[in-house]
Amino acid sequence: MYDDSRTPLETDVEMRFGVPRRDFLKFCAAIAATLGLPKGAEAEVAAALAKKERPPVIWLHHQECTGCTESLLRAEHPTLENLILDIVSLEYHETLFAAAGHQAETVRKASQEKNKGKYLLVVEGAIPTKDDGIYCKIGGQTSLELTREVAANAAAVVAIGSCASWGGMPSTPPNPTGSTGVGEALGRKDVLTIPGCPPNPYNFLATVVHFLTFGKLPALDDKNRPLFAYGRLVHENCERRAHFDAGRFALEFGDEGHRQGWCLYKLGCKGPETHANCPVVLFGDVGMQSWPVGTGHPCIGCTEQGIGFAKPIHALADLKNQRPPVGYPKVGDDQGNGATLGAVAAVSAVVGAAAGAAAVLTKNIKQSEDGKE
Ligand code: SF4
């Protein structure tokens, strides 16, 4: 028999998103948690997403590999199709568009006109600026001209991926095309950046949901990255952190330490100087360990300008701080060599305290050298 006891919101959600209400609410709770919102905020997120208004989005591609879009296509809660059709109105996207040529450009221009001041501009890829930007052209316009035109009337501009954020891979020396990020190319300081190669799709989804729920972009750090995603170092939440604290390091790929899942610091892991939530949010919805360090590869620092694609993989990371992890490991877990976490924690506390004191001392010495203290 047909169950008509559901509320209009529940029915609407099931019809629009094509997922059971329970799954929808789980997604809202996960996004609220990703955003660091207080308990109960998932109801506000659900109410905002269930609204019929969908913000128009114009998505431009420049010098890139389309990995950012590919990464988004791997998001499952909801799938990209749901996101496109039900959460935002994707007006223009060169990879996913059925239209081509003049037809596609006509649709973009019409959307810019109709949604003046209301649409979100998402940029994927670096922008070449050398020789008047002739090294990347779309529909007869250079990337620079096109981005300037579309950004002029956008409600907000989002740079997705490291290339769009600061230049990423295309801007590595000798940078023959003068590639740079959107903010620098446009001379604007208000471009929100979601760096990563690829960026985590949930960080983009959560940013869009924040925009929908609160009508504004989330709080940002000094590089315009959302604090909810880039506020902590990879090292702080890494599942191998206990091994770092206990001094257990893989020294070669395939050695005993590497096979045991020990810390990858001495293989060049840049987690200690890279801000990102990769170890917490993970990738691809395939469960635990679906991130580089989880699969045995050192973090390359792709979310950090000056480290990702700039610092050689063999170079050791600078140890930025010695704060203890907030998520890993669980107290009492066996760390694979017979030592319990309790024992490791005791050693770590001593090591951490000494390292912390050393870090403070180094900072104080530096400040006194600079004449500030
Ligand atoms: Fe994890 Fe790398 Fe830090 Fe080791 S150095 S704990 S592998 S982030």
The per-residue pLDDT for range 240-295, each reduced to its tens digit, is 999 999 999 999 999 999 999 999 999 999 999 999 999 988 887 666 678 999 99
Judged against a pLDDT cut of 70, whether residue 344 lies above it is answered with no
- Report which residue type is found at 71: S
Tell the residue nearest (CA) to atom 6 of ligand 1.
241
d(CA 209, CA 50): 11
Pocket, ligand 1, Cβ cutoff 6 A? 234-235, 238, 240-241, 244, 263-265, 269, 271-272, 293, 299
Please tell me which residue, 168 or 371, carries the higher pLDDT value: 168
pLDDT of residue 274: 96
Neighbours of 105 (CB within 10 A): 17
Please tell me which residue, 96 or 333, carries the higher pLDDT value: 96
In this structure, what token pair is assigned to residue 50? 């269930």
291 Cα: distance to centroid of ligand 1 (angstroms): 12
d(CA 129, CA 151): 16
Q: What percent of the chain has pLDDT over 70?
A: 76
299 Cα: distance to centroid of ligand 1 (angstroms): 8
Mean pLDDT over each residue of the chain, to the nearest integer: 81
Instruction: Please compute the mean of the pLDDT values over residues 23-37 and round it to a whole number.
Output: 78
Q: Where do the domains of the chain lie, and which CATH numbers do they carry?
A: 8-52 (no CATH), 53-229 (3.40.50.700), 232-334 (4.10.480.10)
Instruction: Please compute the mean of the pLDDT values over residues 323-337 and round it to a whole number.
Output: 52
pLDDT of residue 328: 55
Reference 270, options 323, 309, 242; nearest CA is 309
> Which one of 233, 239, 244, 320 would you pick to mutate in the ligand 1 pocket, going by the greatest count of ligand atoms within 8 A of its CB?
244
pLDDT of residue 79: 66
Instruction: Please compute the mean of the pLDDT values over residues 70-83 and round it to a whole number.
Output: 70
Judged against a pLDDT cut of 50, whether residue 373 lies above it is answered with no
Please tell me which residue, 367 or 300, carries the higher pLDDT value: 300
Please tell me which residue, 152 or 76, carries the higher pLDDT value: 152
In this structure, what token pair is assigned to residue 211? 């925009």
d(CA 83, CA 77): 9
Please tell me which residue, 7 or 95, carries the higher pLDDT value: 95
Q: Among all chains, which residue has been given the structure tokens 């360990």? A: 289
List of residues 6+ apart from 51 with CB closer than 8 A = 212
Judged against a pLDDT cut of 90, whether residue 159 lies above it is answered with yes
Q: What is the band of 216 on the pLDDT scale with cuts at 50, 70, 90?
A: confident
Which among 18-27, 267-276, 279-288, 332-341 has the top mean pLDDT? Answer: 267-276
Index of the ligand 1 atom closest to the CA of residue 269: 2
Tell the residue nearest (CA) to atom 5 of ligand 1.
265
d(CA 217, CA 197): 22
Judged against a pLDDT cut of 70, whether residue 204 lies above it is answered with yes
pLDDT of residue 323: 65
List of residues 6+ apart from 328 with CB closer than 8 A = 237, 238, 239, 241, 242, 279
Index of the ligand 1 atom closest to the CA of residue 249: 4
Q: What is the band of 366 on the pLDDT scale with cuts at 50, 70, 90?
A: very low
Judged against a pLDDT cut of 50, whether residue 27 lies above it is answered with yes
244 Cα: distance to centroid of ligand 1 (angstroms): 7
Index of the ligand 1 atom closest to the CA of residue 238: 1
In this structure, what token pair is assigned to residue 181? 């990020």
Phi-psi region of 311 (alpha: psi -120 to 50; beta: other; left: phi over 0): beta
The per-residue pLDDT for range 137-148, each reduced to its tens digit, is 998 999 999 999
> Which one of 293, 311, 320 would you pick to mutate in the ligand 1 pocket, going by the greatest count of ligand atoms within 8 A of its CB?
293
pLDDT of residue 148: 97
Q: Among all chains, which residue has been given the structure tokens 């799954």? A: 23
Q: Are 139 and 146 in contact (CB under 8 A)?
A: yes
346 Cα: distance to centroid of ligand 1 (angstroms): 19
Instruction: Please compute the mean of the pLDDT values over residues 165-174 and round it to a whole number.
Output: 94
d(CA 347, CA 344): 5
